[in-house]
Amino acid sequence: MSDRSSSGGLAAVLWDMDGTLLDSEKLWDVSLEALAEHLGGTLSTEGREAMVGSNMAHSLTILFDDLGLSYTPADLSTAGDWLRAKTAELFDAGLVWRPGARAALDMVGRSGMPMALVTNTERYLTERALGTLGRDRFGAIVCGDEVKLGKPHPEPYEKAADLLGLRPADCLAIEDSSTGTAAAEAAGATVLVIPCAVPVPAGPRRVQRHSLEGLTLDELRAIWMPR
Ligand SMILES: [Mg+2]
């Protein structure tokens, strides 16, 4: 049963996937480094950090630039297919939850508050993660290839809120990256930031927390800021 009327305004939780719910940024580390090697180079730390939270197309341009390689759209497409296959293999071999993530999803789910999954990762790979995450938990799932402009643009969060029949401002987004946080903030949501791979700068509608462990519904309600 929905708890919306008594929640003091917070109507839904919008979850990022990679680095927030799943420790999948480590798997992306492996597949991106393998792709760099396949292309004859080595990915720099700065290059990898610039990709955290980004989508496939943007990450590939960062990678080619980082390796000092020129590229055509066909090169990007071929590299994308390679990266997709390699990452799928790693997702299938074993996804690991971020600390406290499964309990936090269970906790919000039990309250009846709607939840959405909002990821820059494409549907093809997201589908492989939904078995671990539990597809039925989410009232809406928005993937990177289902929007015109991925994070840091607000469109994925706007679309997810819309699919739940809400305004982004009614929602709390939970993110681990600067890119994702910028997207949720631009959409008008409050953001709970739980950094994973890279620190995230502070901001007026951002609250930082070390991990998802011990998170309660009361805390989520208290973090949410009306707009
Ligand atoms: Mg993320």
Q: At what angle do helices 73-93 and 123-133 cross, to 10 degrees?
A: 10
The rounded Å distance from CA 52 to ligand 1 centre is 7
Six-digit token string for 151: 């994070």
Chain segment 190-225, per-residue pLDDT in tens: 999 999 988 999 999 999 999 999 999 999 999 999
Taken in order 191, 116, 194, 149, the sign of the CA dihedral is negative
How many angstroms separate the CA atoms of 98 and 91, rounded? 14
The rounded Å distance from CA 126 to ligand 1 centre is 13
Domains and CATH numbers, the chain: 4-23+96-223 (3.40.50.1000), 25-93 (1.10.150)
Chain segment 16-40, per-residue pLDDT in tens: 999 999 999 999 999 999 999 999 9
Contacting residues for 70 by C-beta, under 8 A, at least 6 apart: 64
The rounded Å distance from CA 174 to ligand 1 centre is 9
Average pLDDT value for residue range 163-191: 98
User: Are 172 and 220 spatial neighbours (Cβ–Cβ below 8 Å)?
Assistant: yes
